[in-house]
Amino acid sequence: MGGWQDPVEVCVIVKAAPETGQTHGETVCVAGIDIYGNWHRLYPMPFKLLSNEQRFNRWDIISTRWRSAAPKDMRLESKRVDHESIVKVRNVKESERHEFARRAIVESLTEEKEKGRSFALIRPENPEFIIRSLSDAERTKSQRRRDTLLSQTDMFSGDSTVLTPDVAPYSFHYRFEHEGKTLTHACIDWETERTFFKWRDQYGEEETLRMMRDKWGQDMPERGIAFAMGTHRVTKFNKWLLSGVIRVNRSAQASLI
């Protein structure tokens, strides 16, 4: 295992829950892009051990020392971080975010995989937001996994992204076109589920579903949407996952809302 490398600055785009049974305890996996549009997957990220000054959210630029994640994780973008070295540099202004993210957008997931890359930001064509009711068996299975995660970890301690103790009675998906194919992916961005529970408490379930269809299904695609796609650490699964849904204007002239 190599020594620590000079700090890298990364704008956080994706934050994902750890897998059940993972070895790093109270951690999350964080991914983001640098000023050149290159992806960096940073872990373990033990939020409980971070000071208030170190804790960060999406669109914060952080600096951290790092070293190779190999041999446990051979993905090109994966870096093992020294959490004690983490510094929150600044928040990317709303007026800068779209231009910043557009640097990372690529045309082909196939080409990215051929280059050995495991993270990519794409423009989905004709995205269709789908809300699907979960069966009792599916909810029970998801609840067991959620209970396991919560018993193992305070993984979002001190952070605005909170893994809720309950499983939503729905799963959220996107059907979209890419490279001439129609694809369907579950949306595993935790923000989507958090929004469901928050809005349901305020507006009730029926109105929440209508509002989510409007926002994720119409408003975001019309204004400009990008998908952060990441691959699983276990290469035998060999598939892309929809890790994050991001608002990104199509041109610099478009206004930011």
Average pLDDT, the chain: 83
Q: What share of the chain is helix, strand, coil (3-state, %, to 5)?
A: 30, 35, 40
pLDDT digits (tens, 9 = 90+) for 157-196: 333 344 455 678 999 999 999 999 999 999 877 778 888 9
pLDDT for the residue 154:
37
Question: Residue 7 has which token pair?
Answer: 């700090």
Question: What's the burial of 223, exposed, middle or buried (CB within 10 Å: 0-12/13-18/19+)?
Answer: middle
- pLDDT exceeds 80 at position 230: yes
227: nearest Cα among 195, 198, 166, 185 = 185
Q: Are 2 and 80 in contact (CB under 8 A)?
A: no
Q: Are 105 and 248 in contact (CB under 8 A)?
A: yes
Pairing state between β 105-106 and 5-16: unpaired
pTM summary value: 0.83
Q: How many angstroms separate the CA atoms of 230 and 96, rounded?
A: 24
Helix (H, G, I), strand (E, B) or coil at 205: helix
* Torsion sign over Cα 46, 161, 173, 222: negative
Tallying the residues shown for the chain, one arrives at 257
pLDDT digits (tens, 9 = 90+) for 16-31: 654 444 444 334 568 9
Binned at pLDDT 50, 70 and 90, residue 85 comes out as very high
Q: How many angstroms separate the CA atoms of 175 and 126, rounded?
A: 8
Q: Are 179 and 110 in contact (CB under 8 A)?
A: yes
